[in-house]
Amino acid sequence: MTTIHEPVTTTATPEDLSVWPSSTTEPRPGDATVGGVSLAEVAGRYGTPVYVLDEGEVRRRCRTYRDAFPEAEVHYAAKAFLCRAMAHWVLDEGLGLDVCSAGELELAVAAGFPADRIVLHGNAKTPHDLKRALWYGVGRIVIDSPSEIARIAAAVGPDGHQKVMVRVVPGISAGGHDKIRTGTEDQKFGLSISDGYAQHAIARILDQPQLELTGLHCHLGSQITDVKPYLAAVRRMAGLMARLKEQHGLTLRELDIGGGHGVAYRPGEPAMDLTRLARKVRAELAEACAAAGLTVPRLIIEPGRAVVGPAGVALYRVVSVKHTGGRTFVAVDGGMSDNPRPALYGVRYAPRLVGRRGSADLAPVTVVGRHCEAGDVLAADARLADDVRAGDLIAVPVAGAYHLSMASGYNAVGRPPVVAVHDGRARLLVRRESLEDIHSRDVGL
């Protein structure tokens, strides 16, 4: 005999909006507005799935970084999300930009972003990436492997000049998941201090007069909510700077400690305390440099997710509700093609019903996508109104980072549009990818 497990329900409490954009309001029970715009109206006008991005929240978070690190350079990490409007907002708020490809670089420059305020990253920069970076005149190129030294020097030419940094592996494990930890010895990024590869690369750069080594770079990982790993990284990087001064008489004037500052995806989860981070890092750097007899270098940080992630909301329509195997599956019209992160590294979200007043009772559900994969799960342990039904609108907060930038064409489902909301107005930033777009790339028969 098969036992059917009835879903456990709980009485709903007032919605916790702590992980939503600060502009979020509920003018009527069951409704939600962001940036003064009804989410239900956005869905009705632009269709679903759709990414909603609060311009005011993005700008506020940029200013928060500028205020916390007034003496530092703050570069927005474009890999989190980039479009021309985003590049404009970042520039307008006084931030620089770091990019990982010629494509991101060209998009930023097309938006009017000054190339000399752009940094090129990447563990495997292609010849095209380097060619475009040099042609545009990017501010710095972060060298990630020894082979890049000769390639960049040759491309620059004997009479040219390019500022570079070296990405160092500090040997520190930090981050929310193994797949997003990049400060350890066993991953693809950077050059190790412990085996001497970083020091050897630096010596080679110093033999190239057309390359100007301005500083060191490291990045520990993503979704880091503890300040301590950054302090350890500062100490190790300062130690390396001291050895370079002793060996080569080299005084480096910049230290880039990357980003990876964690945000809360669900109410009650920890997030990086930016004020504490700035205070502790500043003090640690001053103390380490004083102990080593170094001039304090200019600090550079590279937030991405922490700027744009909490500013985004993803909207989906419920296609079906199915009770099977003792579970309730709420299937929506998007999924892993517009948000692969749950499948990649187990991120957890807190979706909610918007657009109508649902039941006061909440039931445990699994929100799944439309794709032909058992792993196409958007929220495995969500709690939604127990009367959720087909046609309902589901909103997923903290959807601004690594959604569209990691979206795919799986099952030939077009990527969603991006709609900006601000001061009661909605406008389209990135249009929906149509079937015509997909078909136009298929040129052979």
Number of CB atoms found within 10 A of residue 232's CB: 17
CA distance 355 to 445: 45
CA distance 405 to 275: 28
C-alpha count within 13 angstroms, C-beta hemisphere, residue 148 = 27
Residue 5: Cβ-neighbour burial (10 angstroms; 0-12, 13-18, 19+): exposed
pLDDT of residue 135: 96
Q: Give the chain's radius of gyration (CA, Å).
A: 24
372 annotated active-site: yes
CA distance 142 to 86: 23
| Residue 383 DSSP symbol | E
Contacting residues for 436 by C-beta, under 8 A, at least 6 apart: none
pLDDT of residue 173: 56
Task: Examine residue 267 and say whether the peptide bond preceding it is cis (omega within 30 degrees of 0).
Answer: no
Contacting residues for 74 by C-beta, under 8 A, at least 6 apart: 62, 65, 66, 94, 95, 96, 300, 301, 302, 303
Do 68 and 278 form a contact (C-beta atoms < 8 A)? Answer: yes
pLDDT of residue 255: 97
Q: DSSP 3-state assignment of 254? A: strand
Helical segments of 256-322, H only: 274-292, 305-308
Task: Examine residue 49 and say whether the peptide bond preceding it is cis (omega within 30 degrees of 0).
Answer: yes
pLDDT of residue 196: 81
| Residue 411 DSSP symbol | G
Kindly tell me the sign of the dihedral angle through the C-alpha atoms of 347, 350, 354, 356.
positive
| Helices and strands: H and E segment counts in the chain | 12, 21
DSSP strands (E only) in 137-197: 140-143, 162-169, 191-192
Helical segments of 161-273, H only: 197-206, 228-248
Q: Bridge partners of 318?
A: 332
CA distance 106 to 113: 10
Do 169 and 240 form a contact (C-beta atoms < 8 A)? Answer: no
pLDDT of residue 427: 98
Instruction: Tell me the pLDDT of the chain (445 aa) as tens digits.
Output: 333 333 334 433 446 899 999 999 999 888 999 999 999 999 999 999 999 999 999 999 999 999 999 999 999 999 999 999 999 999 999 999 999 999 999 999 999 999 999 999 998 999 999 999 999 999 999 999 999 999 999 999 989 999 999 999 887 754 544 444 444 455 567 898 878 888 899 999 999 999 999 999 999 888 999 999 999 999 999 999 999 999 999 999 999 999 999 999 999 999 999 999 999 999 999 999 999 999 999 999 999 999 999 999 999 999 999 999 889 999 999 999 999 999 888 889 999 999 999 988 999 999 999 999 989 999 998 999 999 999 999 999 999 999 999 999 999 999 999 999 999 999 999 999 999 999 999 998 8
Domains and CATH numbers, the chain: 10-53+310-440 (2.40.37.10), 69-303 (3.20.20.10)
pLDDT of residue 426: 98
CA distance 108 to 105: 5
Find the distance separating the first CA and the last CA of the chain, reported in whole Å. Answer: 54
**Reduced to 3 DSSP states, what percent helix, strand and coil does the chain have, rounded to the nearest 5?**
30, 25, 45
Helical segments of 137-227, H only: 147-156, 197-206
CA distance 394 to 377: 14
Report the amino acid identity of residue 437. Answer: D
CA distance 443 to 445: 7
Quick one: CA torsion of 136, 138, 143, 145, rounded to 10 degrees?
-20
Do 355 and 40 form a contact (C-beta atoms < 8 A)? Answer: yes
